[in-house]
Amino acid sequence: MKFSKLSNNNARIMYLMGWGNYTRVFLTDSSPELNSTTLKKCVDTLPGFIRLSKSLAVNPNHISQIRRNPDRSADVLVAGHWLPVSRRRVSQVVSQLRCLSDHSVRGLTQFRELTEPVNLTAHRAFPVR
């Protein structure tokens, strides 16, 4: 797939996977295609894509569910595939998904609002003396 055709196929693209200086483009109606540009350049060209990790970006219209993992990371469900969300990007991904008013994602209630105050004393591993 040519780089210039990416923006024309925005609705068909489910997610992008960075692969060195190449990007694998996963489409709804065909097998994955290889693009000879970096993931960063693809995400900058495609409006609305959410970066999940260093090597993954997803079209939010294809996300059907999000789940929390015990290690504070998360996964999103896209067309039957669970894609990992890095720990440092979980809050950003959740807030971007909440901003989508026309698309509902199951599992968002598992994540607390960022505006809630955090009680740091309740989360300490060792008691303070």
Helix (H, G, I), strand (E, B) or coil at 65: strand
When pLDDT is cut at 50, 70 and 90, the band that residue 16 belongs to is: very high
Round to whole Å and give the CA distance between 12 and 20. 23
CATH, range 3-109: 2.40.50.1020
Please give the model's pTM, rounded to 2 decimal places. 0.78
* 108 contact partners, CB below 8 Å, separation of at least 6: 66, 94, 97, 98
pLDDT in tens, 37-62: 999 999 999 888 999 999 999 999 99
pLDDT of residue 119: 47
- Order of strands, sheet of 13-19, starting from the edge strand that comes earlier in the sequence: 33-35, 22-27, 13-19, 56-58, 50-53
Q: What is the pLDDT of residue 39?
A: 94
Condensed to tens digits (0 to 9), the pLDDT of residues 63-113 reads 999 998 888 889 999 989 999 999 999 999 998 888 876 667 777 777 765
HSE, CB side, 13 Å, CA atoms: give it for residue 27. Answer: 15
User: Letter for the amino acid at 127?
Assistant: P
Residue ranges in the chain assigned as alpha helix (H): 39-45, 90-99
Could you tell me the residue ranges of all domains in the chain? 3-109
